[in-house]
């Protein structure tokens, strides 16, 4: 393969404004630049992402991210083969800011425009980082997403199940809030859990008694709230040990449910008899060592390779959007100036929409 494709990607669907340049040459993908400007400080006082604040910040920053990404790549806009942009799903104001910017760039430089599904960006990342062949099993676990997918092609995704309410990262963040820990909650809860006894409190294992791979995490947060209030009523407050035990019990429940559902998803995937079976993960929650260990144990048991892209490419970024753009571009799939920004955009159009929409917007 000798083709060279260089694509500028833009991402603005949640609380990260990002731009990146990715090049495919001779079958090798290289990230020439990847710029991510987070918005944590802007939303810190509100306990979650405020869509209007996010949209305004994206509109102010996305073109600066593009400038920085092109400069870091050492290439002018006209050296691109196309401009790829997240066209959904996500917070609509942010998605619009990115799509408008990408349209302006594409029109100005006479380049093709490629609309990318944000979830496809996450799901295709292991091909950018590890050169995975189709089909592979993917678990997306972040603050906004949670689903099991069989990825069979750049535009061929089949969803085996997903969360019907909160995403796991959201549940970690809410747990942290309930226990007075700082945001984002995932790393804080994981740290506290290290000193904790996961067996002291009984946390439920939601939806395990139902067949299939759908998940639910909002009940875990309610269980934690009850346990916390019980302790406060009994002793007037929480000790560090109480906090650690609550975090450990909660984390164990999330890890256990994800591992058990991964086992079910793997069974459905292995029925396709893939030549080189793989479970890949993406999303910030994949950073959690206990959750990772649970998934790795399932993989070892079922003879699947476990692939986790570097964390900076697991969390929201634009390199994944540029890469997904390259995948679409190679198929000859480009969009026109009528490309729409979509708040909801399920990857698998054959599956019914998952109910639920958390603080980070629509799940799919």
Give the shortest CB-93-to-ligand KG4 separation in angstroms.
Answer: 16
Q: Which residue is nearest to ligand KG4 (CB)?
A: 186
Q: Does 287 bind ligand KG4 (CB under 6 A)?
A: yes
Q: Could you tell me the two tokens for 285?
A: 């929650």
Q: Contact 76/70 with Cβ under 8 angstroms?
A: yes
The Cα 226–Cα 182 span in angstroms is 20
343 contact, one of ligand KG4, Zn ion, none, CB 5-8 Å limit per kind: none
3-state secondary structure of 116: strand
Radius of gyration of the chain (CA): 21
Q: Does 316 bind Zn ion (CB under 5 A)?
A: yes
Q: Does 142 bind ligand KG4 (CB under 6 A)?
A: yes
The Cα 132–Cα 115 span in angstroms is 23
Q: Does 143 bind ligand KG4 (CB under 6 A)?
A: yes
Q: Does 96 bind ligand KG4 (CB under 6 A)?
A: no
214 contact, one of Zn ion, ligand KG4, none, CB 5-8 Å limit per kind: none
The Cα 106–Cα 109 span in angstroms is 5
Q: Does 38 bind ligand KG4 (CB under 6 A)?
A: no
Binding mask of the shown chain, residues 160 to 199, with x at each position contacting ligand KG4 by CB under 6 A: ---------xx-xx----------xxxx--x---------
Q: Does 33 bind ligand KG4 (CB under 6 A)?
A: no
User: Considering beta carbons, is residue 91 or 334 the nearer one to ligand KG4?
Assistant: 91
Q: Could you tell me the two tokens for 337?
A: 């100036």
Give the shortest CB-196-to-ligand KG4 separation in angstroms.
Answer: 14
Among residues 121, 124, 144, the alpha carbon closest in space to that of 321 is found at 121
Beta bridge partners, 24, equal 5, 29
The Cα 78–Cα 109 span in angstroms is 6
172 contact, one of ligand KG4, Zn ion, none, CB 5-8 Å limit per kind: ligand KG4
Instruction: Please identify which residue in the block is written with the tokens 């570097």.
Output: 310
The Cα 364–Cα 343 span in angstroms is 8
Residues within window 298-327 making contact with ligand KG4, judged by CB under 6 A? 315-316
Q: Contact 64/337 with Cβ under 8 angstroms?
A: no
Instruction: Catalog residues that contact Zn ion under the rule CB under 5 A.
Output: 316
Instruction: Catalog residues that contact ligand KG4 under the rule CB under 6 A.
Output: 14, 142-144, 169-170, 172-173, 184-187, 190, 283-285, 287-288, 315-316, 360
């Amino acid at each position: 393969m000798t083709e060279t494709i260089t694509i500028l990607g833009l991402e603005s669907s949640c609380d990260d404004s990002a731009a990146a340049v990715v090049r495919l040459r001779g079958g090798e993908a290289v990230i020439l630049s990847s710029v991510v400007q987070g918005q944590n400080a802007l939303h810190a006082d509100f306990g979650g992402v405020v869509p209007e604040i996010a949209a305004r910040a994206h509109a102010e920053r996305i073109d600066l991210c593009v400038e920085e990404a092109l400069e870091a790549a050492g290439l002018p806009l006209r050296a691109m083969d196309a401009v790829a942009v997240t066209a959904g799903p996500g917070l609509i104001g942010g998605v619009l800011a990115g799509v408008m910017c990408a349209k302006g760039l594409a029109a100005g430089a006479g380049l093709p425009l490629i609309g990318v599904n944000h979830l496809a960006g996450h799901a295709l990342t292991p091909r950018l980082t590890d050169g995975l062949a189709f089909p592979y099993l993917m678990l997306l676990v972040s603050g906004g997403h949670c689903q099991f997918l069989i990825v069979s092609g750049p535009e061929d995704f089949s969803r085996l199940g997903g969360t019907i309410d909160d995403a796991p990262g959201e549940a970690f963040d809410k747990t942290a809030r309930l226990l007075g820990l700082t945001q984002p909650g995932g790393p804080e809860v994981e740290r506290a859990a290290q000193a904790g006894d996961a067996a002291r409190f009984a946390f439920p294992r939601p939806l395990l008694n139902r067949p299939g791979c759908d998940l639910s995490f909002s009940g875990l947060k309610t269980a934690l709230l009850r346990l916390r209030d019980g302790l406060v009523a009994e002793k007037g407050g929480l000790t560090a040990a109480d906090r650690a035990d609550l975090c450990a019990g909660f984390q164990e429940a999330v890890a256990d449910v994800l591992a058990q559902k991964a086992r079910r998803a793997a069974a459905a995937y292995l029925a396709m008899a893939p030549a080189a079976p793989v479970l890949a993960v993406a999303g910030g929650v994949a950073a959690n060592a206990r959750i990772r260990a649970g998934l790795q144990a399932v993989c070892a048991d079922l003879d699947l390779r476990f692939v986790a892209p570097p964390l900076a490419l697991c969390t929201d970024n634009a390199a994944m959007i540029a890469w997904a753009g390259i995948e679409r571009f190679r198929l000859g799939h480009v969009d026109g100036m009528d490309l729409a920004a979509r708040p909801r955009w399920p990857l698998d159009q054959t599956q019914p929409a998952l109910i639920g929409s958390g603080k980070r917007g629509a799940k799919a």
